[in-house]
Amino acid sequence: MRLIGKAVTILFAVIGLIAVLIAGAGWGILHTLGSFGGAEAVYKESDRFVLALDLDAPMPERDDEPWRAVFGTPTTTLQRAITAIDSAAADPRVVGLQATLSDSPLSMAEVQELRDAIGRFHASGKPTQVFSPTIGEAGGGTHSYYLATAFDDIWLQPSGDLGLSGFGIEVPFVHNALKELGISTELVRRWEYKNAMDSAARDSMSEPHRISLLRLLESWRDQVVDGVAKHTGLDKEKVGNLLDGAPLSARDALSHKLIDHIGYADQADDAIQTQTSAEERMSLDEYLGVVDARQKEQQAARAKMPHIALIQVTGLIARGEVMPGDGQNSDDVAQAIHDAANDPDVRAIVLRISSPGGSYVASDTIWRELMLAREAEIPVIVSMGDMAASGGYFVALPASKVVAQPATITGSIGVYAFKPVLQEMWSKLNVTWETVALGDYATMWSPHHGFSDVQRSQFEKGVDNAYRDFTEKVGASRHLSPEIVDKVARGRIWTGSDALNVGLVDTLGGQYEAIRLAKQEIGLDPDAPINLRPFPEEQDGLTALLDSLNLKQLASAAATFSRLSASLQPLNEVMGHARVASQGPALLGPPLSHKAP
């Protein structure tokens, strides 16, 4: 076993060394190649062009693919796309905005944020157009059509459909399937609307669960009806009836005045070219290259502008290492807040939250760092993205102002905790576990049995303490009485528009509005130029590449394998004496428990 451990360690070390050498050589080559090209090379001062958007392309909230920076093509996040649209609105060379759209991957709140940006472009006096071969061909096109109504002209291909089909949510319940496998759960929640684990713990939807989801859909529907009515000039009742009806053909959609033109892509291209006298079209990625190059040129000037920090909280809020795309480590977020608050140039912080929550302790870590920033008289403005629920709402509480989109899912002021119980499963497999323990709580988190009475009492006490802390912080931060907090909490989710009505957010809008509020907080005109600085600072290409190769985790894995081989040697000797063939190690990890505000 020791030889195996040493071999594994050497293997990972060699892999790491090779990866570093390849990364360094590759970076040099790519950096050299990149210096000869780029989007700015095709950009001429005399050009008049239409900015072209692909609204079916993914626009994630956060760039979790740092390796793309090596190739000079950073991920087109939602905010980068919005930055490009806002820059284009003020750019005299950009004479129009054209988009293609069939099935947007964006959430309702993200659609609203993009709609706001398109509206600002329209306010500049430049035309906007969207073409679609079909919108939600098999249904489910309501939110895509809602996005399309932000444009002046909507074109639909003659063979296409307008797949309006209302709103619906389907929730699976696997409790009975788990029961067949012998798996159950120990679950405590505060309170009836905290339904995050209902899929595993119940065999049907509870009435509070149904009520909260129904209100969510009703609120979203009202928002879509308002947006469509403003674009079409139709009264809201008729729009509502059309949304609740069957999908429409292109001809029917035109007759109901839901679209403006029936035609093909080349005809739509001709129309926008005639309208704008544009000489060419430039893609969003190309124009972002122009924007990036311009910002680099202005870097010295921007350094003298007032600095506002931008910090993201995206995905699950967790303690310890988190895989890219899954969430963020609370210590990393807290450090970013600390660094921004202690930077003498930073005058305000904009915290962008797009998170369903996570660990109570991790959320509390971020909350504390934000409170310290507020105590240092640093204004904190929260911008909520598609979701800022549970722990995502918890970390927003220290803010000076909270901004949400009308469709943002927020609130969920509640706590749950659970552990799986595999006792029946082991019984079905004829596996017996024997326990030797000192103390009533030594095996409390073991998944091989349920809680004893004293363990369950302690379990519920921990959940109660977390819920009390959460609701007290809500009351103090939002200036709400305990009675009002009890009505808006209990784990219930709210849309941003409903959250505004019950006092959980301060105003509606996106990150653009949050930045405007931050400027006002520090005495600037809402349109004053600033230096918006991300914390932590964005990585250069080589650092991003090395991080994407995860060399630190490779080294950690090598050390773990080495320690594991040593610790398993006595076990393998016992199994060898018992003439049992070892097929691999049995790893006992930390208890699988989860507590989320």
Residues serving a catalytic function are 194, 390
CB of 265 closer than 8 Å to CB of 36: no
- DSSP-derived secondary structure for 306-319: PEEEEEEEESEEES
Q: For the chain, what's the residue count?
A: 597
- Strand-pairing partners, residue 283, are 52
- What whole-number distance in Å separates Cα of residue 596 and Cα of residue 360? 5
508 SS3 class:
strand
Tokens 């979701």 locate to 387
253 to 146, 218, 570: CA distances (angstroms): 14, 23, 74
- What whole-number distance in Å separates Cα of residue 208 and Cα of residue 496? 19
In three-state form (DSSP H/G/I as H, E/B as E, the rest C), the secondary structure along 22-69 is: HHHHHHHHHHHHHCCCCHHHHCCCCCCEEEEEECCCCCCCCCCCHHHH
506 to 176, 378, 526: CA distances (angstroms): 43, 18, 17
Query: Can you list the pairs that 63-66 forms with residues at least 24 positions away whose Cβ atoms lie under 8 Å?
Result: 64/324, 64/325, 65/324, 65/548, 66/324, 66/539, 66/544, 66/545, 66/547, 66/548
- What whole-number distance in Å separates Cα of residue 220 and Cα of residue 214? 10
The pair of structure tokens assigned to 79 is 């905010």
CB of 250 closer than 8 Å to CB of 262: yes
Among the listed residues 525, 493, 532, the one whose alpha carbon sits nearest the alpha carbon of residue 511? 532
CB of 58 closer than 8 Å to CB of 91: no
Tokens 């909230």 locate to 61
Count Cβ atoms within 10 A of the Cβ of residue 305 and give its class: 0-12 exposed, 13-18 middle, 19 or more buried. middle
- What whole-number distance in Å separates Cα of residue 249 and Cα of residue 252? 5
CB of 104 closer than 8 Å to CB of 73: no
- What whole-number distance in Å separates Cα of residue 238 and Cα of residue 575? 75
CA atoms within 13 A of residue 226's CA, in its CB half-sphere: 10
The pair of structure tokens assigned to 380 is 């904190």
385 SS3 class:
strand
The single-letter code of the amino acid at 351 is L
Which is it for the CA torsion 170, 175, 176, 180, positive or negative?
Answer: positive
Tokens 């076993």 locate to 1
478 SS3 class:
helix
Q: Which strand (E) or helix (H) includes residue 533?
A: strand 531-534
597 SS3 class:
coil
Relative to beta strand 128-132, strand 153-156 is parallel
142 SS3 class:
helix
